[in-house]
Structure 1
């Protein structure tokens, strides 16, 4: 069980670093991980929505579909928070690129 959690955490960290370089696929995979829970990690729909939103902004049609699907299970406040976090991530990525 501990190995499963460590593997899941490694996957998440590696995907986050790739996602920072604007990979739609990595963002989508993070969205899936957060929407389903990976290993012993809990489901976090706000994080999932954020990553699906970033994937969609980078051209992922699957990201668009999954974002819409999980939005049906979220409150307006949760969606707004996910969108705020996505905008912050975009701003941070743009600052690093400058």
Structure 2
């Protein structure tokens, strides 16, 4: 069991690193992790929507599909917060690149 937890933690750490580079796959994987509670993460639909949204913006059709699915379980206020967080992450990343 300990090896499984260590593997899950390694996966999540590697996906966070990839998400900082904003690869569609890394963002999608984080969306899945937050929507399902994978790797010890809490289920957090706002975080899931944010990461699926970022994946979709990078061209992931799966990200688009999952974003819509998660949005069906969220309030309008939660969706707005997820979108705000995604925009903030994009802006922060663009500032670092400049």
Aligned length: 98
Residues of 2 paired with 1:52 and 1:5: CA distance?
A: 24
Across the aligned residues of Structure 1 and Structure 2, the Cα RMSD in angstroms comes to: 1.4
Q: In the TM superposition, what are the counterparts of 1:69-84 in structure 2 within 5 Å?
A: 69-84=69-84
Partner residue in 2 for 1:53: 53
C-alpha contact 2:24 2:54 (8 A) present in aligned 1: yes
Q: Which runs of 5+ in 2 are unaligned?
A: none
Give the CA deviation at 1:80: 0.7
1:10 aligns to 2:41 (yes or no): no
Moved over 4 A (4+): none
1:77 match: secondary structure: helix
1:43 match: secondary structure: coil
1:92 match: secondary structure: helix
TM-score normalised over the length of structure 1: 0.90
Q: Hey, which of these two has a bigger chunk of helix by percent? A: 2
C-alpha contact 1:46 1:78 (8 A) present in aligned 2: yes
Partner residue in 2 for 1:27: 27
Partner residue in 1 for 2:68: 68
C-alpha contact 1:5 1:41 (8 A) present in aligned 2: no
1:49 match: secondary structure: helix
